[in-house]
Structure 1
Amino acid sequence: MATIRFLAPDTDAYVSSVQRHIGEFEARSGHRADLRIIGSDEYFSNRIEPYLAGEDAADVYMSGPVLLWEQMASGLVEPLDDYVASAGAEYRFDDFIDGLIRANRWSGRFGDPLGNGPLLEIPVNCESYNLVYVPSILERCGVEVPSTWEEYFAAAGKISANAGSGVRGFGQRGVQVWHTVYTGFATQLWSCGAADFDRSRRCAIASPEAVEATEAFIRSLKRAGPRDWTNQRWYELALDCANGKYGLLVDSDHYVAFFENPEFSSLVGRVGYALPPAGPSGLRKPNLWTWSVVMNSRSRNKRAAWDFVEWATGREFLLRSVFEGNMNPTRLSIWDDPEFIRYTSTWGNFYDVSRRLVEELGSVLVTPVTNYLQVADRWTRALRDAYLGVDPVRGALQKAASDIDAMVAG
């Protein structure tokens, strides 16, 4: 029997479920588990390599697209195809949603799309980016649920002007971290016909389409976004939205675990959910993210590490965890589970919207490259510079695009 070291962030519901039920794994497997939970800011910055190297390295850890690509380049990811093939019949790997598995396969080469190459991690929750709205705020301000980004920003302005003190038009992440561009902003940008790189793999964030979309975004942020946008983190954003401080939000659909939990929300049962807005041509391109379980290639106990992965990504564990806040499911059988359907039945259109996002519309939009954290950080800095008036939008994006081309060329 072995000691399995598991590394994870401290604000994730899945991780809380692992902590809550780890005794079950130890009893069933005979292994001992050593859980190492660190702050989410440190984790999202991907400064975790010291925990994944050396004599005391974690055997299994949490990751996701963008973070994973850098970890792969550092030799910290064990391909999982052979382990999956050895799993027991009850594991049912084909129960995972196809698009989520594709999002976690990659060759490691810039320019190669996701879906090709080895299986790098197994998804345990996922998010795409829906439109959340507070019907009572919209009604008070005479605003319809927006179906396009132009309507969204116009509605946000009207809400900010008419909803009263303490309520802004729309929520949006804004701190100097990569996921500021990855979530709602990326969904807007791609839906408006823009992208991060073009077909020749040149940075395209200063293309005419990208500049136009970004200008609309920055204008509306100043008019109707968070007053402290450059300090807006995801966790506080979710809590603020759950308590009526914004009329609209395009961000993670797994925030439902906050919105529909009376421990965090004053709006339980009174939140609306819809598909994210479409761009001017009718294009709707929601981005996608998965929190997933990775085996460290430097683990000294890989067979025992797989025992942990098989338990922690099995249907039994993942079904139980959704009722403990681990949204959204990554297995089809959990979406189909009658108890889960009943559990979500009072959440308006959440179930139908989020299932369509994860199965049909959502995909990892950003171009995979092993240093995408640097790319996204530079892009985020350009947005913040434009917002703060350091540079006009076009100039900020042109400078960033030039820097990003140099980053990926190196």
Structure 2
Amino acid sequence: MKAPLVLLTAGGTGGHLFPAEALANALRASDCRVVLATDKRANAYAGSFPADEIIEIPSATPSGRSVPKMAKAALLLAQGTLRAMAVIRQLKPDAVVGFGGYPTVPPVIAASLLKVPTAIHEANGVMGRANRLLARRSSLIATGFASIKGIPTSVPGQVIQTGNPIRPAVLEAAKQTYAPLEPDGTMRLLVVGGSQGARVMSDVVPPAIELLAQDLRDRLVITQQARGEDLERVRSHYRRLDVKFEAEPFFTDLPRRLGEAHLVISRSGASTVAELAVIGRPSILVPLPGSLDQDQAANAKTLGDLGAAIVLPQSQFTPERLAAEISSYFQQPDRLTKAAAAAHSASITDAAERLAQAILNLIRINENGTPS
């Protein structure tokens, strides 16, 4: 019997690709073949993706009110759908699984038109626009959180919570138990801004560190992700303060660094929140402002409500406020330990396996009408 072939589609950012990567590993462990369809932008993150083949499909994100830009985006999506139909006819996948973002739209629409079973995974606490568009064309909707907003009414497919699939490197890092901050010990501070970085971290964190008392600065070891254009000023600031630091645009071993951290300062993308929970690390989360769906605010709230994170809207994320929060953690290190335990209580470590099993069941139902 030929091994099932699953076409995964994800794009845009690492936040979409990372859970797709985790599912790919789980599917391959179940003797499935995997092909990834993505857009040009996501290829920067897809080099080591565990797939038999990576196929680029045209896509665009409709945004703004410019009629020419909207028309161009619609044309690219139509071209992408035609390209995806040709790919699906050639590959003959047993299922197509989308992970959100407009690059998933052409392959999932093409699959539904060709009567191939489809599934979408919504990682955030609010369903994104692309997934809302695809929900009524999907045989299965899997969610990262138990309750999410924005699912259209009367969707034809089953809705299940699987959790957010976690990459093997993160699961490996989760084996490292949280090391409590000693009363006079070193605090390892990790500052990240998502797979594309965040300028606000470069604007706020170094000045906040400067506001700390000298004895607290001496106890810090900082690892900070900074955009290339912000990198030198971040490094210069820390050198002037004479603090121990490492600053880079991207860390390939980020899961290991998460595991080593006492405190994480970050955006609150779905993958980041899931990884903080699985590894069990306390955090200060700054949701991305201005998004239509406010998905990062919903994600952050899940950890904030548990006492696992301090959630600061970007308008409140100032050097003064951040310095006060870090100082408070130095003075009450047991709060970090309690927050780490609270984060871990929200983890779903087998989400990739759950989602893989749901996809295999979908394939079996399509073949013979009998789920396993």
Same fold at TM > 0.5: no
**Structure with bigger RCO (C-alpha 8 Å, 6+ apart):** 1
Give the structure-1-normalised TM-score: 0.33
